[in-house]
Amino acid sequence: MAQGNFSRVTEFILLGLSDMRELQVLFFTFFLLAYAMVLLGNLLIIVTVRTDPKLSSPMYFLLCNLSFIDICFTSVTAPRMLVDLLSQRKAIVFEDCIAQLFFLHFLGSSEMFLLTVMAYDRYTAICKPLHYTAIMSRWACCLLVSSCWAGGFLHSITQTLLTIQLPFCGPNMIDNCFCDVPPVIRLACTDIYVTEWLMASNSGLISLVCFLVLVTSYMFILVTIRGRFTAGHWKALSTCASHVMVIILFFVPCIFTYLRPFSPFPFDKYVCVIYTIFSPVMNPLIYTLRNKEVKESMWRL
């Protein structure tokens, strides 16, 4: 059939996590509480860092940016999920679906790059303490954060352009609770083998490379502080441990989702919830409960 004869899909139906009403109410309660925690926790971190002069080091500047990204990242999916859980017909128009897909990858990849920069900051502070101030200057931090946003935009626009050039003529059922590349391109009315591998090499390799860089940086940190655990080194190690927890929660589900051909698995939509909802919930808890300076500043605030 010629591409001009296709009847283009104008909306998609999101199947969600379950069609059982009892489970939908349970998911709604959980996601509402999780989204509230993301908003309140990360806003509290941003206000605390911005108002306390003692929290002016590069680590807290990067943490403030991470909290801002987490708020935006979760807001791309959570409000729509909450509305759909209370709706009988979970429809999303084609343009809104593409916009959600774009911002999901834009903010998600920006967070990956930012977590990598945060690991570099910890590596510099622990392994090169005498040069830390010169290397992680305010100008350098702003440049690194800007690069994270620029890299996220380039990644996302590539994914979006590869998606919108595909013909969609039906079916229009997305087996997920939001629009993402794998479930959307599976609905295309054409052979997606090449597009599938292009996207997997894009999203999947970014996730894997960032993860390997992070793991390598923390290995260098452990080697550096081995055998000389002063009080400062214990504090640094505790900070790195919290970073590793965030990395595992965020990167492992992303690698599983994107670094493979987009053949569907029944539990794919549940894995997506881990890095879109659960990981942003854990960030403020990990970075505040394990950081004495932030906790003290919050109490003063």
Q: What is residue 2's predicted lDDT score, i.e. its pLDDT?
A: 41
- Band of pLDDT at residue 149, cut at 50, 70 and 90: very high
User: Which residue in this structure is represented by tokens 């790059």?
Assistant: 113
Dump pLDDT digits (tens) for 32-55.
999 999 999 899 889 888 888 888
The answer, yes or no, to whether residue 271 has pLDDT greater than 50, is yes
Going by pLDDT thresholds of 50, 70 and 90, the confidence category of residue 109 is: very high
Query: Is the bond preceding 171 in cis, omega lying within 30 degrees of 0?
Result: yes
Domains of the chain and CATH, by start: 11-299 (1.20.1070.10)
Predicted confidence (pLDDT) at residue 160 exceeds the cutoff of 70:
yes
pLDDT band, very low/low/confident/very high, at 299 (cuts 50, 70, 90) = confident
Return the structure tokens found at 235. Answer: 């504090």
Query: What six digits make up the tokens of 182?
Result: 């794998």
What average pLDDT does the structure give for the chain? Answer: 84
* Strand positions, DSSP E, the chain: 11-14, 91-93, 173-174
Whether 200 shows a pLDDT value over 70: the answer reads yes
Amino acid at 299: W
Which three-class secondary structure string do you get for 275-286?
A: HHHHHHHHHHHH
DSSP state of 6: -
Contact 62, 121 (CB under 8 A): yes
Mean pLDDT of 211-236: 73
Is residue 211 classed as helix, strand or coil in its secondary structure? helix
Give the 3-state secondary structure of residue 92. Answer: strand
